[in-house]
Amino acid sequence: MADELDLKDFTGRARLFPLPGVVMFPHVVAPLHIFEPRYKRMAEDALDGDRLIAIVQVLPDPATSWKPNPPIAEVGCLGRIVHHERLADGRFNILLLGRKRVRLVRETSKPDLPYRTADVALIEDEPPSKVEEAAGRERLISRFRSVVGEAADVDPEFFKLLDSADSLGALTDVMAHALPFPVESKQRLLAEPSVEVRVRRLDRWIGDLAAAFPRERTFPPPFSDN
């Protein structure tokens, strides 16, 4: 219901915020520092309108990444601004709550806008069976506790966050966001609508992380300064 309320004014056209090496997921909150003039304008327009911005990954191509409008991933995450701080010089600090996966249909940028826009299609989760909903949740959390939890100093609040995820799909997204997978792997998880497929991948990939967490390491890591 929260998703439906947040998206009731969504027209299907999204403001695009391309970021290199960043994959955002539904159900998580991302802190963003907005300082480029075109994205300050984007933030202003979003706050004056539906408060929605789509985070899309800039494709890692050295030949094009320097261009003003480099190629971007086909699937991104539509997020809603849930908090903002307007600084004296026009910059913004915002908290963006991921809401839905979106597939870019066509770019629709206009000459009078300094930032990119696109027509997008919302991607709904393909839900698991009732049996897998319960079994998958138990398996992933148990896997995380036994592999990552034993190898790192995990903040107990993070386990509470996992336990409180309102669906198996939400649980996969929270884990995918927090775990230090390669950006290409995260993009694959974002682009995958099947919850059961995401569970299988996470189950396998979490096992591969066992050696990546020295016991003195704190997990999840603190937010970096933007």
The partner residues of 154 in beta bridges, in order of sequence, read: 219
Q: Which residue has the tokens 């010089």?
A: 89
Residue whose C-alpha is closest to residue 136's, from 102, 101, 98, 162 = 162
Average pLDDT, the chain: 87
Least confident of 2-6, 44-48, 71-75, 109-113: 2-6
Residue whose C-alpha is closest to residue 169's, from 125, 212, 204, 124 = 125
Is the separation of the CB atoms in 86 and 13 below 8 Å? no
Task: Answer whether 0.75 is exceeded by the pTM.
Answer: yes
d(CA 99, CA 15) in angstroms, rounded, equals 14
CATH class (in words) of the domain with range 130-219? mainly alpha
Q: Please state the domain extents for the chain.
A: 2-123, 130-219
pLDDT confidence of residue 223: 47
Query: Tell me, which fold does domain 2-123 have in CATH?
Result: 2.30.130
Q: Where on the phi/psi map is residue 133: left (φ > 0), alpha (ψ -120 to 50), or beta?
A: alpha
pLDDT in tens, 99-157: 999 999 999 988 899 999 999 999 999 999 989 998 999 999 888 888 776 655 666 77
Please give the single-letter amino acid code of residue 127. P
